[in-house]
Structure 1
Amino acid sequence: MKKPAWLKLWLPVCLCFTLYAFSLPSSYGAQKTDTAQADKDKKAIIKRARDAYYSLRKLGLVKFEASITPNWEITLKDQIKSDPSSAQASLKLLNGLHFAMDLGADGNVKVTHHTDVAPANEQMAAGFNQIYGGMEQAVSGFFASWSIFMLTSPFPEVESEYKIEEIGGEYRLSYKEGNADIVTSMTRDLAITEIKVSTSAFSSSLKPILKKGPQGFVLSGYNGDYAATSGSGTVQLKAQIDYQEVEGLQLLHTVSLDSVYDGSPNQMELTFADYQVKHQ
Structure 2
Amino acid sequence: MWLGVDDQAPAAVTELTAVADITGPSVELSWVKSESDFVRQSPIGLDLTSGGTFSNVNDVSAYNIRRDDGTGLQLIDSVGAGEDSYIDESVLSGVIYTYSVTAADAAGNESEAAVSDQISLKPADPGTGVPDAPEQVEIATQVTLVFDVVIETSEDLERECANAIAVLEGLFPQFAGQLTCAEGSIVITFPEIVEDPEEPSLIEQIEDELADPDSPIATLAPVLDLGSLKGGDLDFGDVARDESIAENFAFSNSSDDPEAVLVVSVSVDGDGYSLSTGTLS
TM-score with structure 1 setting the length: 0.21
Query: Which structure is richer in relative contact order (CA contacts within 8 A, separation 6 or more)?
Result: 1
More helix by share: 1
Larger Rg: 2
TM-score with structure 2 setting the length: 0.21
More strand by share: 1
